[in-house]
Amino acid sequence: MEVVHVFVPATQLLIGAVLIAGAFVRLAALGGAIQMTLFYGLAVSFSETERGRRVSRR
């Protein structure tokens, strides 16, 4: 997990800096889109809800 705590902010900072600088914009946008897709996919797979209802943990 330590790698993730360093990797995610570093890549977000790099993507943001490249987009602000205007260099490699398409590559940075693609990287950001891939990262957000992975975040969304993981959030859905680890969701605690099932069809809008909270799943009881017994």
The pLDDT of residue 24: 93
Cβ-contact 55, 49 below 8 angstroms: yes
Q: In this model, does residue 18 exceed pLDDT 90?
A: yes
Q: Taking the model in full, what pTM does it have?
A: 0.64
Tell me the mean pLDDT in the region 41-52. Answer: 66
pLDDT band at 21 (very low <50, low <70, confident <90, very high): very high
pLDDT, the chain, mean:
82
Tell me the mean pLDDT in the region 33-50. Answer: 78
Higher pLDDT, 38 or 56: 38
Phi, psi (degrees; rounded to nearest 5) at 37: -65, -40
